Amino acid sequence: MVVAVAFAFLTAQAAAQPAPLVHLRDIDPGIRQEMHYAGPDNFTGRPLPGYDAAECLLRRPVALALKQVQADLVKAGYSLKVYDCYRPTRAVAAMAAWARNPHAMPDTSRFYPGLDKAKLFALGYISGHSAHSRGVAIDLTVVPLKAAPAAPYDPGKRYGPCTAPAADRAPDNSLDMGTSFDCFSVKSWTASASITAAQKANRRILADAMRRHGFTNYKREWWHFSYNRADDGIAFDVPVRSR
């Protein structure tokens, strides 16, 4: 009960704060966006609360740094593609509620193959707070600059686990990073030894470009980077909306 009251207090604080967020499209429209929490292709199987639009919002310094990363990658024939950016605190709470609910549907075990869902908190894959809610974290990947859009996600189709070969996973037009986004597996750890040399090289393309411009990777998720220079510790709960 104390935890629930504390979270409610923090959420109220977040909702009361003005959010200094910008739309990434206004800073760099060339960065591709595929916002997974605005739809069903995520580990909860549903759009998350607070995602009223499939848009990437970030603090301005973060978006400007990301624009520099994109400029470097374009020269090499690649583009960034973001999966998630700013995340309202209500969405973080919904993730935590999903993790604690053993009866949550639909079945999304493809995101945590071989793991007990009840242990996702203890293993560090899900947390009750997130740098995403402060507008300083991004989940993203790299796609070939001229890649066609990914095939549409089909909620009725049975896709392979997130650790399966790329052709068996849910559709994605990115470089093969060894797992899909939001894959709860040691194979997703950035320095995992259980992926191929080509997949390791693809991860280095992303990691090196991000590090050059001040981003820090979370070692258990090859896709997650934070821009700590802009982090003042203030989280927000304003919904994600189109501009």
Q: Each residue of 207-220: pLDDT tens digit?
A: 999 999 999 999 99
Q: Is residue 243 part of a domain?
A: no
CA distance 58 to 118: 31
Q: Is residue 153 part of a domain?
A: yes
Question: How many CA atoms within 13 Å lie on the side-chain side of 194?
Answer: 9
Percentage of the chain surpassing pLDDT 90? 85
Question: Is the model more confident about 241 or about 12?
Answer: 241
Percentage of the chain surpassing pLDDT 70? 93
Q: Is residue 242 part of a domain?
A: no
Q: Is residue 239 part of a domain?
A: no
The pTM of this model reads 0.91
Domain of 30, CATH number, reads 3.30.1380.10
Tell me the torsion sign for CA atoms 233, 40, 210, 238: negative
Domain span at residue 103 reads: 2-230
- Alpha helices, DSSP H, located in 22-167: 24-27, 60-75, 89-100
3-state SS class at 51: strand
Confidence (pLDDT) at 122: 86
CA distance 223 to 206: 8
User: What value does the mean pLDDT of the chain take?
Assistant: 92
DSSP assignment letter at 228: G
CA angle, corner 35, sides to 58 and 188, nearest 5? Answer: 95
Q: Is residue 195 part of a domain?
A: yes
Q: Is residue 127 part of a domain?
A: yes
Token couple for 136: 């300083």
Amino acid, single-letter form, for residue 95: M
Summarised one tens digit per residue, pLDDT across range 189-201 is: 999 999 999 999 9
What is the number of structural domains in the chain? 1
Averaged pLDDT for residues 16-34: 88
Summarised one tens digit per residue, pLDDT across range 109-152 is: 999 999 999 889 888 888 888 999 999 999 999 999 999 999 99
Q: How confident is the model at residue 18 (pLDDT cuts 50, 70, 90)?
A: low
In what helix (H) or strand (E) does residue 84 lie, and over which residues does it extend? strand 78-84
Q: Is residue 241 part of a domain?
A: no
Q: Is it the case that residue 2 has pLDDT exceeding 50?
A: no
Q: Is residue 131 part of a domain?
A: yes
Confidence (pLDDT) at 127: 84
Q: Is it the case that residue 11 has pLDDT exceeding 50?
A: no
Give the strand order in the sheet containing 32-33: 32-33, 78-84, 137-144, 224-226, 216-217
| Spatial contact of 167 and 173, defined as CB atoms under 8 Å apart | no
Q: How confident is the model at residue 173 (pLDDT cuts 50, 70, 90)?
A: very high
Q: Is it the case that residue 95 has pLDDT exceeding 70?
A: yes
Question: Is the model more confident about 100 or about 181?
Answer: 181
Strands (E), 101-227: 137-144, 216-217, 224-226
CA distance 98 to 44: 7
Amino acid, single-letter form, for residue 30: G
